[in-house]
Amino acid sequence: MKLSTKGRYGTRLMLDLATYYGKGPVALKDIAKRQEISEKYLWQLISPLKIAGLVNSTRGPSGGYTLAKKPSEITLNDIVSVLDGPLCIVDCVKDPSLCKRSANCVTREVWSETSEELSKVLASKTLEDMIRKQKNKDSPGT
C-alpha cells in the first residue's frame, strides 16, 4: 500500500500554509520553491482543498492562499481524504459488492480493520502537531 503523490504533496502544501498561518496569504510559487514541487502540480491540489473548505484564496498582487481553519483543526486525514478519497487498502472494504465473497471473507475483515486504524492515526495528527514535530527536528537537543 502506498499513499498517492497527491496525498503526500498536498500534505506538504498544507503544512507549508500552516507554517505561515496568521501571517497573510502565501503565493503558490513560494510554496513550490520551498517544497520543491512544481507550481503546476500545486495548482491541481489547491482547488479540491479550497472546495473542501480547508483553504481560502485572496486575489490581487499580494494575494495567495491561507488555511481556512486553525492548524489545530485540520488533520492529515482531512487532507488525504480530500485528495485521495477514503483510505481503503482494498476496494472491497469500501464497496463489498465488488466481490461476491465479501460477506464471508475473513481477510476482508483484516483489510477493513487495517483501513480503519490507518484513518484513526491520520485523524489523530493535526497540522499543528506536524509543525511542532518539524520545529523539534530543526532544532535538535532543545
End-to-end CA, the chain: 35
| pLDDT at residue 67 in the model | 98
pLDDT of residue 142: 52
| pLDDT tens, residue by residue, 59-93 | 988 899 999 999 999 999 999 999 998 887 888 88
* Location of C-alpha cell 495548482: 43
Report field, pTM of the whole predicted structure over 0.75: yes
Regions of the chain with pLDDT less than 50: none
- Residue type present at position 27: A
The pLDDT, as a whole number, for residue 69 is: 97
- Whole-angstrom Cα distance, residue 137 to residue 125? 17
- List domains and CATH numbers for the chain: 5-138 (1.10.10.10)
Whole-number pLDDT of residue 140: 67
The Cα–Cα gap between 5 and 8 comes to 5
Is residue 84 within 8 Å of 3, Cβ to Cβ? yes
